[in-house]
Amino acid sequence: QAWTDGINAAGKMALLAWEKETGIELVQINGQRHYGGPPPGWEGPPPPARTEVYIARLPQDVYENTLIPLFESVGKLYEFRLMMTFSGLNRGFAYARYASLQDARRAIATFHGFQLRQGCAIVVCWSTQKRELLVNGLPASVSRQELEAMLQMLTEGIHSVTLYASPGQGQAKLAVLKYRTHKAAALAKKALVEGNLRLGKEGMRVDWLDPQVKKKLQLCEEEPSPSWVKGGENLAVPRAVAMPLSLQKVLEYLNTVCSKCHLRTPLFITRCVQVTPSRWQKLWYQVVIPGYHVPISGFTWVSPDREGQSKQEKAKVVAALHILWVLGESLHSQLPAF
């Protein structure tokens, strides 16, 4: 640990001196440190697709004061993202997005195999721009619309949700989540994993969608969207609820379900347990339902830029959806047909 601390101290001093000298501002968002996106003085829309390169095999004590000037020497940078560990070292890889396709090509031609240090040749290639996540271990009762509703509250930039039966896991389901950008997918993965949200009896497991798994899933039949109303009502979130879900509508529906289950009105407790430099908040919630045997609790990340709802209201919407899933999973077999 002393070796790590010593390198961090020297690296941090050099990085701070470089920031002060250049006026460059670096912003840490979860496990990524950002420059640009857009950089100062940028005019016009973002660069087109295929302008980002992936940089790997970086020494862990190398930072932006070395990397940004190096990669800017071959073309104009729109954005630079360095992946960071909790200890303050980098994770060995970064992404550089250029203003043009020609600049990105030049970076690959110049720096792939470049000796950043003696005996340390870095890898520079096209970024794969992964945008799809695989979610395993979802309960059998979950529907695509319910999952979409939850993801709208927990993450940004969701493009589509596809549900499949999970092979070899009984009635469990898995889902493929597609996001509009790699950045949105990466932040969503972190939010879903660290949010520790439990759907039903088991926590869901989130990872990048492996290309081989994707090929196998393309041969499987996508689960059809279920009917939202069967025999009058069921425990699903009503399809008529607009996105983003309003707290009032979700609570009204939850209270109706609790009443039919002979349970009393749920009591909510929320508490902020973490705030990131970019003002994302991690909120803990607990819900006590008089008549139900245990409290229901979990975590959720709340973004800073959504209007119309307070952070606590957003957390309560997530908590209410969580309760609907739990009730649907644990009480479905015990409830009379409505």
pLDDT for res 162: 87
Residue type, 96: A
Largest CA distance in the chain: 72
Model confidence pLDDT, tens digit, residues 10-29: 888 889 999 999 999 898 87
Best mean pLDDT range from 81-95, 230-244, 317-331: 81-95
Please, what is the average pLDDT of the chain? 77
Between 280 and 61, name the one with better pLDDT.
Answer: 61
Q: What are phi and psi of 315, to 5 degrees?
A: -65, -40
| Structural domains of the chain ordered from first start | 9-126 (3.30.70.330), 132-218+247-333 (3.30.70.330)
Task: Enumerate residues 6+ apart whose C-beta is below 8 A from 35.
Answer: 24, 25, 26, 27, 64, 68, 77, 79, 80, 81
Percent of the chain topping pLDDT 90: 23
CA–CA dist 48, 11 (Å, integer):
34
CA distance 200 to 235: 13
Report pLDDT digits (tens) over 220-246. 656 554 332 233 333 333 333 333 556
Spatial separation of the C-alpha atoms in residues 219 and 250, rounded to whole Å: 36
DSSP conformation class of 294: S
pLDDT class for 317, splitting at 50, 70, 90?
Answer: confident
Q: Residue 95's pLDDT band (boundaries 50, 70, 90)?
A: very high
3-state secondary structure of 84: strand
> CA–CA separation, 110 vs 122, rounded Å?
11
Cα angle: 7, vertex 53, 48; to 5 degrees: 135
User: Does the structure show a pLDDT above 60 at 2?
Assistant: no
CB count in 10 Å sphere of residue 308 = 8
Kindly report the CA angle at 268 between 267 and 270, in degrees rounded to 5? 160
Pair of tokens at residue 244: 């983003």
